[in-house]
Structure 1
Amino acid sequence: MLKNYMEIVVEDVLPDLIKEHKLKCDCQICIEDIKAITLNNLKPMYIVSHKGIVYSKLNELNNQFNADTVRGIMDAIKKVEENPRH
């Protein structure tokens, strides 16, 4: 199992930020664009085992990790809202 753990984190955090921010458009295209932009701008964290998932979950407790993730998502939301593809 090879997985970018940041995909899991973004999938987990994004719904709450969407509710708080009240997107201009929450269609699937805009949501996928937000995810892609966020993941392209965050440092990837690849895992290959369940042990890697546990280690990565511990890293989530780090305040800087959470702040970087939220900031990355919010930057992507702003970018997509300013330039939607549709």
Structure 2
Amino acid sequence: MPEHVSMFQLVGLPVLALVTAICVVGLGRLRRRHRFEAAARRRHETLRAMPEQRRSGPATESVELTPEEHAAFAGLVRRFSDSRRP
């Protein structure tokens, strides 16, 4: 330890660097949190005119087709797919 430097000068610079680093990290976290909150607020405001979406849909229903109905449906599908081809 140099004789012409006091203890406060030796400890002061590392303490000042530590406080600066803590402030930089804290400000970075504050900016990031503010940015995410602002984005969420913008997203909510943008979709304000749209109705609220349901989280779950209606129960799924299914109907068994007879062989005749199945053949008729297959014929419709073929007819529509043929009409779409150039």
The structure whose Rg is larger is: 2
User: Which structure would you say has the larger RCO, counting Cα contacts within 8 Å and 6 or more residues apart?
Assistant: 1
- Do they fold alike, i.e. is TM over 0.5? no
TM-score under structure 2 normalisation? 0.29
TM-score norm. by structure 1 comes to 0.29
Structure 1 or 2: more strand by fraction: 1
